[in-house]
Amino acid sequence: MPIPAPNLYPPFNIIRLSHVDFGVTDLAASRAFYVDTLGLQVTDEEDGTLYLRAMEERGHHCMVLRQSDTAHVKSLSFKVYDEEQLDKAEAWFEGQGHRTEWVERAHQGRTLATHDHLGMPIEFYFKMDRLEPIHQKYALYKGVKPLRIDHFNCFVPNVDEAVSFYNQLGFRVTEYTEDEESGRLWAAWTHRKGGVHDIAFTNGTGPRLHHTAFWVPTPLNIIDLLDLMATTGYVANIERGPGRHGISNAFFLYILDPDGHRIEIYCSDYQTVDPDLEAIRWDLKDPQRQTLWGAPAPKSWFENGSVFEGLDTSESTLGASPIIAP
């Protein structure tokens, strides 16, 4: 199925992804991983909830960690252009028959909670507490020196349907993988902010969150993180990489937090601002799509993901498979 034409005039204006909200089973262990090891900065901690931001971010948080009985994802959040866009978003989702609710979120203004076509919880806001810049406070830099949150990747049972839904919201496809035999999409990368992706979709049992990615300055930061993790008790949390993706051209590393939430550390992709930029097609069996150097991903990378709180999943209807490492 061909990818849809870019929707340059969506019903409301999403600027970018904003933050992820995780349920974690041991907040102290999660703090040690995200703060002491990766280097995210604590902006608030109260009532079993930890708020974190990366070094270039002025918004209050890009990640929320909540002490929970089970590991899960509570929601994925996006920032819109202004307050008016929130009302437009409410009207659009209600017009599509989706549940909407105005919810209270600490350190944020009005926040609209709703869901996508699969029931995946998504939230929209405009105002968030602004903090002083810390990107030149180099004494604070540690771990992998994370600069900003970059994207989400989600497992979905039908990538064509996911691309079609998010296209209505103005997410434009930059690269995609097509199964030659069926003509269906196996994966797609879509954006709002002018990078390769704000949210991507991978074929699999879903909806589940495949990973959350953070942008770092250079590949050397990733090497430093590997040395740190390998000598501080986290060697088993290194899942895949380092390497360079064929898709997106990004240098990457995939790691797992103490609850198994997958995090990608990421740099070196490219700009996609032009509205008429042509999407790049990859064949599912091309060994360089996963890693430019040809190394396939492990089986766990295609099977394991984070569940959304209270949401059932469905198996994929596409039986095609990429090359998987033995």
Q: Is residue 201 part of a domain?
A: yes
What DSSP character marks residue 128?
A: B
Residues 293/286, Cβ–Cβ less than 8 Å: no
Mean pLDDT of 238-256: 97
152 pairs with which residues across the strands?
Answer: 199, 212
Render 32-95 in DSSP notation, one character per residue: IIIIIII-PEEEEEETTEEEEE-TT--BS-SEEEEE-SS-EEEEEEEEESSHHHHHHHHHHHHH
Write out the two tokens for 307: 């569940």
CATH number of the domain encompassing residue 125: 3.10.180.10
Confidence band, pLDDT 50/70/90 cuts, at residue 319: confident
Percent of residues, the chain, with pLDDT higher than 90: 94
Mean pLDDT of 273-286: 95
Question: Is the confidence at residue 108, as pLDDT, over 80?
Answer: yes
Question: Is the confidence at residue 326, as pLDDT, over 80?
Answer: no
> Total structural domains in the chain?
2
Q: Is residue 4 part of a domain?
A: no
- pLDDT tens figures, 40-88: 999 999 999 999 999 999 999 999 999 999 999 999 999 999 999 999 9
- pLDDT tens figures, 139-187: 999 999 999 999 999 999 999 999 999 999 999 999 999 998 899 999 9
Residue with tokens 């970018």: 16
Confidence band, pLDDT 50/70/90 cuts, at residue 325: confident
The pTM score is 0.97
- Cα–Cα distance between 64 and 211 in angstroms, integer? 15
Mean pLDDT of 246-253: 96
- Cα–Cα distance between 42 and 85 in angstroms, integer? 29
Sequence-separated (6 or more) residues with CB below 8 Å from residue 92:
11, 12
Residues 174, 269 within the same domain: yes
Q: Is residue 172 part of a domain?
A: yes
Residue with tokens 């995210």: 40
Q: Is residue 323 part of a domain?
A: no
Question: Is the confidence at residue 321, as pLDDT, over 90?
Answer: no
Q: Is residue 302 part of a domain?
A: yes
Residues 287, 154 within the same domain: yes
- Among residues 103, 130, 157, which one ends one of the domains? 130
Residues 218, 281 within the same domain: yes
Q: Is residue 235 part of a domain?
A: yes
- pLDDT tens figures, 26-53: 999 999 999 999 999 999 999 999 999 9
Percent of residues, the chain, with pLDDT higher than 70: 100
- Cα–Cα distance between 85 and 79 in angstroms, integer? 10
- Cα–Cα distance between 185 and 44 in angstroms, integer? 41
Question: Is the confidence at residue 1, as pLDDT, over 70?
Answer: no
Mean pLDDT for the chain? 97
Q: Is residue 135 part of a domain?
A: no
Q: Is residue 211 part of a domain?
A: yes
Residues 235, 154 within the same domain: yes
Q: Is 220 left (phi over 0), alpha (psi -120 to 50) or beta?
A: alpha
Q: Structural domain of residue 19, as residue ranges?
A: 14-130
Provide the pLDDT for residue 323: 85
Confidence band, pLDDT 50/70/90 cuts, at residue 317: confident
- Among residues 104, 130, 156, which one ends one of the domains? 130
